[in-house]
Structure 1
Amino acid sequence: MTPFDIGLLSLAAMGLAVMAGMFVPIALMVCSFVGVWAMKGSPVLASKLLGLAANDAISSYFFGVVPLFVLMGFVVSEAGFGRDAFDVANAMFRRLKGGLGVGTVGANAIFAAITGISIASAAVFTKIAVPQMIRHGYAPRFAVGVVAGSSVLGMMIPPSLLLILFGILAEQSIGDLFLAGIGPGLLLALFFSLGIVIMAVLTPRFVGEPNDEAAERYSGPELAAKGLPIAGLIVLVLGGIYAGIFTPVEAGAMGAIGALFLGFAMGRLTLKSLWTVLLETGLVTATVCFLIIAAQMYSRMLALSGVPAGLGTLATDAQLGFWGLMILYCAIVILLGMILDSSSIMLILVPLMLPVVIPMQIDLVWFGIVTVLAVEIGLLTPPFGISVYVIKATLDDPSITLGDIFRGAAPFALIMLVVLALVLAFPVIATGLIPGR
């Protein structure tokens, strides 16, 4: 067999292993090792090549951005800044029809700007926003749908763990990816808010009978006390990056230090809760590290086999063109989102697609934003929909089923498709803030 044939067989074997229930990084590693062994004829050589890949994957300076931003996210979550964001956003949008729902979207956007982890957003706002919305007359299905939909903002509005992962995989500037995420992230939040107001007017049965006027009110000084620490963290981290004061790694470190200082200064963190935060940070960092190592091994195996180059030739010969390729790619990403988690989709598809899109001179930063947007839709689609499962696990209400959450999230998945189409049609939405693009 030729290396190309072996590469195709390895891809097929990996797909079967994943469908059979094997963890994606393990399937990537095993199939990569066996594939290189078959191509080179030596298990020793295969182990050395893949060992070098593993070393290269985590020895990069920019890998340090992962644990630092994860630490900052967990500290912010543990210190209760999510509730502060909800209170501030709810006060801003209280007078709108469907104001609590719009406030939840706004709070998620604020929370996303200091965490970057959609699962954390889903868990935090399930506890905070869902009971509040139900208490004020919103239908339970709509309440959980709002939280499920808006939780995906954590993966688009910087800092974003998925954008960091794409930057490492595609060797692109994480700072540029963060800048590119601002426009689509804010557009997504705006469309979610408009969608909630429209649903509140046109589909009252789906939304319920909200009474936003009964929502808790705060004075100006109280709102300032809640909002200023969050605003300070956002300015410190993102302002530092965009002003050129910090690299993304340094900004992650400063953000983590700032979050720890605020948490202890405001009496919201204890040594016991800090230990919990450190354990969770270690677990997430180890998981991401394992995923990146597996992806690097997989990339090396694919490069040796010539499969990506073959796919690029196939795409050229098929004359799909730019639009044909991008629509097909987005469709595959969304379909995979129904059975795989977001990071696994990126690990599998990005190394496969980069050799195809680079010769077409497609902007890789824009391509990363399109990828993350398409992947985010998978967070809300059955049967996998990881955000939906996080909400169900966090809810203390057996009357709300998984089906209810998926149905509540469906309008937000459709809104995301609209935003994805806009970013595809108008790349400037993503690249407009990046100097020189």
Structure 2
Amino acid sequence: MDMISMSLLLLTGLLILLAAGLWVAFALTATGLAALHFFSNIPVGTSLATSFYGASVSWELAALPMFIWMGEVLFRSRLSEEMFTGIAPWVGRIPGRLLHTNIIGCGIFAAISGSSAATAATIGKMSIPELTQRGYDRKQILGTLAGSATLGLLIPPSIILIVYGVATEQSIARLFVAGILPGLLLMVLFAGYVVIWSKLNPSGVPADEEEALPLAEKVRRSKPLIPVVLLIVGVIGSIYGGFASPTESAAVGVALAHLLSWRGGSLTGETFVQALMGTVKTSTMIAFILVGAHFLTVSMAFTGIPRELASWISTLNLSPGMLLLALTLFFILLGCFLDGISVVVLTTSVILPMVEAAGIDPMWFGIYLVIVVEMSQITPPVGFNLFVIQGLTGENIIRVALAALPYFLLLLAGVMLITVFPQIVTFLPNQMGN
């Protein structure tokens, strides 16, 4: 049997297992077992044991539960209320006015949570009732929230970038730094769209609702943002400045998050236990998937399928641009049915050899992949941000998806921009050196 047939057979088996409702980790492990048993002479039991152990003891994985814990603590704090209070005075005179608080608020919370769903839920709980009560266009309220919440996957510290870094053996610190400028770029694109939309649809934005404030008053009202800014500086600054590894900075972030929650009066014995249990559940789920993915990666390597597929792709003489176009369509389709972490761990073992053979920087590809996965967060039928917002509002999922459609297109524009100008991704990491 040739390599293409073997690949299609394994892929079909994996999709059948996933469609049957089997947990992703079990489906990955079962596919790896089948690959080793039928297409190699490697002892299955020994390979399973060594790969499971090897994937479990990675030091980089220690950052994962820490950042999840930090997000869980902040999710239960008064952070969102404080962010709204601090941001509102600065956007009151910009076309679109308080719609921008969704974009800026999601960007800030993304920088201290790392989770798209947590960002959507936290900011949405505060902004949807507030903006609806003030008379803003309902569709834009939902759209700005759904689109901007995807920034939780990209703006560091990002859980999915940790997963990608572990799966591909890339520097997590460099991946974090690489996500900063693309994240800011997407925020600018979202804000620009809101400005244009509000100019074309003035009835969707309440008129003259914000008083003109002097600079000193704006600064005074922004004081609630100070702890948030300090937290971001503490986490990201320690990495960028070379004072701490991502794992060490995660520990700093957890300590600062508890301090911030305690200061706001929301740190109680109950919330502490809730945050801890939420962290355990999410961390073990992701770690279990990573272990299964690592075993599948090892199995695929032993069969020689990734190497042969990369060679086959190279014989097609696809330009890097055509390869990325094909991969973009593939990831969008895959992301319609799987969550972002599953997309990353399922595909890296097969896709990365093709990407490297095409001369594409694996670090740049990680940022590209995360933005494409962001797009899948707001595409039905399995767009997790859509589900979160539907749960908050009770709106029809199709209506929420239509509201998010312009932001899906803006994310696509972001992919095109970093493809044409890869320096957007590589500039800051290059300043760090090696």
- TM > 0.5 between the two? yes
1:149, 1:413 within 8 Å by CA — same for their partners in 2?
Answer: yes
Q: Is the 8 A contact 1:158 1:179 kept in 2?
A: yes
CA distance in 1, matches of 2:303, 2:221: 58
Q: Is the 8 A contact 1:6 1:38 kept in 2?
A: no
- Of 32-41 and 301-310, deviating more is 32-41
Per-residue Cα deviation, 1:302-324 (whole angstroms, up to 9, x for no partner): 11122211211111111112111
Q: Per the alignment, do residues 41 and 177 of structure 1 end up closer, same or farther by CA in structure 2, a change over 3 Å counting?
A: closer
Q: 2:206 maps to which residue?
A: 210
Please give the residue correspondences for 1:254-269 in structure 2 after superposition, counting only pairs within 5 Å. Answer: 254-269=252-267
Q: Distance in 1 between matches of 2:228 and 2:211?
A: 22
- Aligned letter for 1:35? A
Give, as a single letter, the amino acid of the residue that structure 2 aligns with 1:49.
S
Distance 2:311 2:220 in 1: 61
User: What secondary structure does 1:98 align onto?
Assistant: coil
Q: 2:427: which partner in 1? A: 432
The amino acid across from 1:23 in the alignment is W
Question: C-alpha separation between the residues in 2 aligned to 1:49 and 1:20?
Answer: 26
Counterpart position of 1:232 = 230
The alpha-carbon deviation at position 2 of structure 1 amounts to 6.6
Alignment partner of 1:199 out of 194, 197, 200: 197
- Superposition deviation, residue 407 in structure 1: 0.7
Map of 1:22 onto structure 2: 22
Q: Which residue of 2 aligns with 1:163?
A: 161
Cα distance in 2 between the residues matched to 1:295 and 1:244: 31
Matches within 5 A, 1:319-338: 319-338=317-336
Aligned residues: 430
Q: 1:343 aligns with which of 338, 341, 345?
A: 341
Summarize the alignment of residues 292-307 of structure 1 with structure 2, pairs less than 5 Å apart: 292-307=290-305
2:397 maps to a residue whose letter is: L
Letter in 1 for 2:20: A
For 1:56 and 1:153, the matched residues in 2 are separated by 31
Q: Which residue of 2 aligns with 1:99?
A: 97
Q: Are residues 277 and 216 of structure 1, via their aligned partners in 2, closer, same or farther at CA, if it must alter by over 3 Å?
A: farther
State the match for 1:417 in structure 2: 412
Residue 182 (structure 2) aligns with: 184
1:8–1:307 contact (8 Å) kept in structure 2: no
CA contact (8 A) 2:78 2:264 kept: no
Distance 1:350 1:337, change over 3 A: same
Q: Deviations over 1:205-251 (max 9, x none)?
A: 6xx24346259999557534311100110111111111111110000
Question: How far apart are residue 104 of structure 1 and its match?
Answer: 1.2
Report deviation, 1:35. Answer: 2.0
Distance 2:191 2:127 in 1: 15
For 2:284, the equivalent position in structure 1 comes to: 286
Deviation digits for residues 305-361 of structure 1 (CA, Å, limit 9, x no counterpart):
222112111111111121111111111111111222111111111111111122333
Q: What TM-score do you get using the length of structure 1 for normalisation?
A: 0.93
| Partner of residue 70 from structure 2, selected from 58, 69, 72 | 72
Structure 1, unmatched stretches of 5+, are none
Equivalent residue for 1:403, pick from 398, 401, 406: 398
After superposition, the Cα gap between the structure-2 partners of 1:326 and 1:272, relative to the gap in structure 1 and judged at 3 Å, is: same
RMSD over aligned Cα, in angstroms?
A: 2.1
| Range 208-217 or range 409-418, more displaced | 208-217
Distance 2:49 2:10 in 1: 19
**Match of 1:298, SS?**
helix
Cα distance in 1 for residues equivalent to 2:219 and 2:424: 36
How far did residue 271 of structure 1 move? Answer: 1.2
Percent identity between matched residues is: 31
Question: Quick one: distance in 2 between partners of 1:203 and 1:331?
Answer: 32
Q: 1:285 to 1:363 in 2, by over 3 A?
A: same
Q: Distance in 2 between matches of 1:215 and 1:385?
A: 38
Q: Conserved in 1, the CA contact under 8 Å of 2:124 and 2:145? A: yes
Q: Which amino acid aligns with 1:320?
A: L
Q: CA deviation at 1:6?
A: 4.3
Give the aligned partner of residue 56 of structure 1: 54
Structure 1 SS opposite 2:113: coil
Q: Equivalents in 2 of 1:311, 1:41: separation in Å?
A: 20
Gap runs ≥5 in structure 2: none
Shift of 1:204: 4.7
What is the CA distance between 1:74 and its match in structure 2?
1.1
Partner of 1:225: helix, strand, or coil? Answer: coil
Alignment partner, residue 148 of structure 1:
146
Kept after mapping to 2: 8 A contact 1:71/1:277: yes
What letter corresponds to residue 303 of structure 2 in structure 1? Answer: S
Partner of 2:80: 82
1:141-199, CA deviations, whole angstroms, 9 ceiling, x for partnerless residues? 22111111110011111111111111111100011001110010000001000101111
Letter in 1 for 2:59: Y
1:393 has 2:391 as partner: yes
CA distance in structure 1 between the aligned counterparts of 2:416 and 2:338, rounded to whole angstroms = 22
Question: Partner of 1:169: helix, strand, or coil?
Answer: helix
- Structure 1 residues 133 and 48 mapped into 2: Cα distance closer, same or farther (>3 Å)? same
Deviation at 1:47, TM superposition (A): 2.5
Q: CA deviation at 1:87?
A: 2.2
Deviations 1:124-145 (A, max 9, x none): 1221111111111122222111
Match in the other structure for 1:34: 34
2-side partners of 1:364 and 1:3: how far apart? 24
